[in-house]
Structure 1
Amino acid sequence: MIQYPGNLWLLLIVIPVVAILVSNFQKGKHDLYRIGGEWRKHQLYDVYLVKGFFSSLSFVFFIIFTVLALSGVSGTGRKIIDIPSKADIVFSMDISRSMLSDDILPSRLSRSKDAVKNIMGRLPEERYGLVVFKGRGVKLAPVTEDSEAVLLNLLSVSPEMFTSAGTNLESGLLAAASMFPKGEERRKVIILFSDGENLSGNPGKAVQFIKDKGIEVVVFGAGTETGKVLRDSSGRIVTDKTGNEVITRLDRSKLKYIASSLGGSYFEMSASGSVSEAVDSLALNISSSRLVTAGEEAYTFYLFLAVLLLILFVSIRIFPWKNVF
């Protein structure tokens, strides 16, 4: 897993660096032959090969390993993390227009808001944050002990907040995963509210990222599989290109996939008592510590190699040319 894949573009620096080093190596070899003469050709070349070629090689790999470290590469191994009882909980809420559907009353979005209030009321000692998403994830409230600030932001949540179209579960999950303060020994929990209708992005990428970070996930499915017609902002029924009414439905399989892939729980708000059941489960779960697995971050290893190669590069360069001249 690579946390900052964009940094890998820095590897392109290697191309001009190699070109310059090769050019300098060839020029330096020619100059040495001219200065040292034919009778010391092999002796000069042996020393120059070490000082020129191998020092250049160590510098190139120094660049490569530095870029890998900056990219936040995670290893293939797994490590066990003992998560303490206190938790940071980030709500990631779908605010696409389909969440206004009233196949569960009063609407999918209203039921989601009520669930958030219920959870915060039952677990007042935890810290909370709030993310909403349509075409992209947006952070509304940072993780804080000020529950009132989170609830105040919750009141204004609606599809009209942002103009971006569609639903991007990947962006909503990644925005939530980036909210947690670093360096604190607290459990990290994302609670996702969505009908599962994903129109862009790849939730699988977010699932892998969250798994590597050891973040726990609880998923609430909003809506029913029977569904209901989708309406626009003026209340008119939305139709597709062929003139058929667009039905918005709960995508249970996608939401269950997210929950099961992360070892989390899945609840449906259409089921009787599901919200209270979920809150009871959360309260019991958060009151005790838990062991989870996370990807081992390998950037320290690459950084260590980069430093060693830099030391090797400098050492070779300053090594004296004994018994040559």
Structure 2
Amino acid sequence: MTFLYPLYLWLFPGVLLVGALLLFAVWRSRKALTAYLGGRLLEEALNIFALKSFISAVLCLTALAMLILALAGPQWGSRSVEEERRGLELVFLVDVSNSMLVEDVLPSRLVRTREVARSVASRFPESSRGIVVFKGGASVLVPLTGDPAAFDLAISYLSPALVTSPGTDLDEALPVAADLFPGGTPRHRVVLLFSDGGHDQGVSRQVLEDLRDRGIPVFTILAGTPAGGTIPTTDGGVLRDAQGDPVIVGVKSRRMEEIASVTGGKSYNLSETAIVNRLVQDLEQLSGQGASVLFRQVAVDRYHLFVLAALGLLTVMIGVQSFRWRDLL
């Protein structure tokens, strides 16, 4: 069981407070009853009063607990719901690790990524677009926006300096990109991943299946060639290892293809001459001229069960108070 509003569960200590108030009220009533009655009639009346008070208190406190659970929004199980989508929303997920500075794709992997991303976005002027950059961590550079000027400005500043954490972690970056899309959007949602595939820990299958289940395909654009190249440094040289040899960085195409395959996307290579036209054509085909109907799994709300239980308990409590218990004792 999960709760939509778990903060309401903090109301449970209030049940103890209500219980203490009920106990005090019973004590006051018992004291008044003792002063009013006497003899054998008093003993019989106190027995009935104690039984009715105990049962009523249990029913009242249980009903209160049920109402608190209902407020917290309990959910369990799932069901399929139709989701009609029209139009397009794009999140550009860009690897800004140092390996993207390699110049095996001219003028460099990162510069070519800027050019392609800007060209693709310009072909969909009515679409919202956002940018997430990642290395060892991920950061939202531009939230989903329809402002092309803000997008173009951010694209021009893509560099390894934007994220300080070393390495490359897609397990963190992909969920950040997916969460950029607003819930319940009527548009098709696509993540465009630009990377050389050199992710330190690989990508969790669970992360990819979650994207697929949410209807968010990942179009992967492999940045680089199998031969790879060296990483230029700011002093005009190249990055070298501990032995003084140049570090050669290639690509991992199979990893990128797996990401696209599992999420329902497609794979491309940044070095393709017609990369922009291919991307635009496939994105147009995805969005289509009309609407498409997809199905997604949503959690089932169960709060009404707890409300009904509370009402039932309160009804029984009223019956307990109204029933002539003397006939049973």
Q: TM bucket by the smaller chain? A: 0.7 to 0.9
Q: CA deviation at 1:64?
A: 4.3
Question: Secondary structure of the equivalent of 1:237?
Answer: coil
Separation in 1 of the partners of 2:63 and 2:99? 56
Q: Against the structure 1 CA distance between its residues 252 and 303, is the aligned structure 2 distance closer, same or farther, given a 3 Å change threshold?
A: farther
Question: Secondary structure of the equivalent of 2:153?
Answer: helix
Aligned pairs, number: 314
Separation in 2 of the partners of 1:196 and 1:293? 30
Any conservation in 2 of the 1:117–1:151 contact (CA below 8 Å)?
yes
The aligned counterpart of 2:101 is 100
1:253-301 C-alpha deviation (Å, 9 max, x unpaired): 3322322222121222245544432222112322333232222243xx1
The aligned counterpart of 2:294 is 292
Q: CA deviation at 1:160?
A: 1.0
Structure 2 gaps, min length 5:
34-41
Any conservation in 1 of the 2:195–2:222 contact (CA below 8 Å)?
yes
The aligned counterpart of 1:83 is 85
Counterpart of 2:293, as a letter, is L
Counterpart of 1:217, as a letter, is V
The aligned counterpart of 1:281 is 282
Aligned residue runs from structure 1 range 214-293, under 5 A = 214-229=215-230, 235-239=237-241, 247-271=248-272, 273-288=274-289, 289-293=291-295
Who wins on radius of gyration, i.e. which is larger? 2
Structure 1 gaps, min length 5:
none
Q: Against the structure 1 CA distance between its residues 285 and 310, is the aligned structure 2 distance closer, same or farther, given a 3 Å change threshold?
A: same
* 1:302 aligns to 2:302 (yes or no): yes
Any conservation in 1 of the 2:239–2:246 contact (CA below 8 Å)?
yes
Q: CA deviation at 1:197?
A: 2.6
Any conservation in 1 of the 2:219–2:266 contact (CA below 8 Å)?
yes
The aligned counterpart of 2:321 is 321
Q: Against the structure 1 CA distance between its residues 237 and 45, is the aligned structure 2 distance closer, same or farther, given a 3 Å change threshold?
A: farther
The equivalent position to 1:55 in structure 2, one of 48, 51, 60, is: 60
Deviates more, 1:196-205 or 1:121-130: 196-205
Percent identity of paired positions between Structure 1 and Structure 2: 27
Counterpart of 1:131, as a letter, is V
Q: Against the structure 1 CA distance between its residues 316 and 282, is the aligned structure 2 distance closer, same or farther, given a 3 Å change threshold?
A: same
1:94-130 C-alpha deviation (Å, 9 max, x unpaired): 1122221223332221222122122123323322222
Counterpart of 2:169, as a letter, is N
Separation in 2 of the partners of 1:243 and 1:68? 61
Question: Secondary structure of the equivalent of 2:264?
Answer: coil
Question: Secondary structure of the equivalent of 2:165?
Answer: coil
Counterpart of 2:239, as a letter, is I
Q: CA deviation at 1:153?
A: 0.9
Aligned residue runs from structure 1 range 1-325, under 5 A = 13=10, 20=16, 39=44, 43-44=48-49, 47-48=52-53, 50-64=55-69, 66-67=71-72, 69=74, 75-84=77-86, 86-182=87-183, 184-199=185-200, 203-229=204-230, 235-239=237-241, 247-271=248-272, 273-288=274-289, 289-298=291-300, 301-305=301-305, 307-308=307-308, 321-322=321-322, 323=324
TM-score for the superposition, normalised by structure 2: 0.74
Separation in 1 of the partners of 2:288 and 2:54? 64
Q: Against the structure 1 CA distance between its residues 170 and 224, is the aligned structure 2 distance closer, same or farther, given a 3 Å change threshold?
A: same
CA-atom RMSD in angstroms: 4.2
Q: Against the structure 1 CA distance between its residues 315 and 194, is the aligned structure 2 distance closer, same or farther, given a 3 Å change threshold?
A: farther
Any conservation in 1 of the 2:193–2:221 contact (CA below 8 Å)?
yes
